[in-house]
Structure 1
Amino acid sequence: MPSDPATPLLPVGFSALPPGHIAAIVTSLDMVGPPTPRAAKPLPDGMALHPLVRSDCETYRGLYRAVGADWLWFSRLTLSDQALRDILDDPRVEILTLRQDGTDLGLLELDFRQPETCELAFLGLVPEALGQGLGRTLINTAIESAWSHPIKRFWVHTCTFDHPGALDFYRRSGFTPCAVAVEVAPDPRLTGLLPRTCAPHVPLLA
Structure 2
Amino acid sequence: MMLGVGEYEIPKGKLSVVVTYLEMTAPQPVRAAPAIKGFSMRRVTNPDVAWYRDLFRRVGALEWLWHSRLDLDDAELDAILTDPAVHVYAAQLDGQDEGIVELDFRTQGLCELAFFGTTRSLMGKGAGRAMMNHAITAAWAEPIRLLHVHTCTADHPAALAFYQRSGFVPVRQTIDIEEDPRLTGMVPRDSGPHVPIFD
Q: 1:111 is matched with which residue: 101, 104, 115?
A: 104
User: Which residue type is aligned with residue 174 of structure 1?
Assistant: G
Q: 1:50 is matched with which residue: 42, 47, 51?
A: 42
Could you tell me how far 1:51 is from its partner in structure 2? 2.2
The worse-fitting range, judged by mean Cα deviation, of 143-152 and 52-61 is: 52-61
Alignment-derived partner of residue 5 in structure 1:
none
Alignment-derived partner of residue 59 in structure 2:
67
Structure 1 residue matching 2:42: 3-state secondary structure: strand
- Aligned equivalents of 1:205, 1:58: Cα separation in 2: 31
Q: 2:166 is matched with which residue: 168, 173, 179?
A: 173
Could you tell me how far 1:126 is from its partner in structure 2? 0.2
TM-score, normalization: structure 2?
Answer: 0.96
Count of residue pairs brought into register by the alignment: 198
Tell me if structure 1 keeps the 8 A contact 2:45–2:87: no
Per-residue deviation, residues 102-150 of structure 1 (Å, max 9, x unmatched): 3211010000001100000011000121000000001000000010011
Per-residue deviation, residues 160-194 of structure 1 (Å, max 9, x unmatched): 11111100000000000001001111000000110
Q: 1:150 is matched with which residue: 132, 143, 150?
A: 143
Structure 1 residue matching 2:133: 3-state secondary structure: helix
Unaligned runs of 5+ in 1: 1-7
Could you tell me how far 1:100 is from its partner in structure 2? 2.7
- Aligned equivalents of 2:71, 2:127: Cα separation in 1: 28
Give the percent of matched residue pairs that are identical in Structure 1 and Structure 2: 45
The CA RMSD over aligned residues, in Å, is 1.1
Could you tell me how far 1:201 is from its partner in structure 2? 0.7
- Aligned equivalents of 1:102, 1:136: Cα separation in 2: 19
TM-score, normalization: structure 1?
Answer: 0.93
Alignment-derived partner of residue 78 in structure 1:
71
User: Which residue type is aligned with residue 50 of structure 1?
Assistant: R
Q: 1:14 is matched with which residue: 7, 25, 32?
A: 7
The worse-fitting range, judged by mean Cα deviation, of 188-197 and 10-19 is: 10-19
Tell me if structure 1 keeps the 8 A contact 2:110–2:145: yes
Task: Provide runs of 4+ in structure 1 moved above 4 Å.
Answer: none
Alignment-derived partner of residue 133 in structure 2:
140
Structure 2 residue matching 1:78: 3-state secondary structure: coil
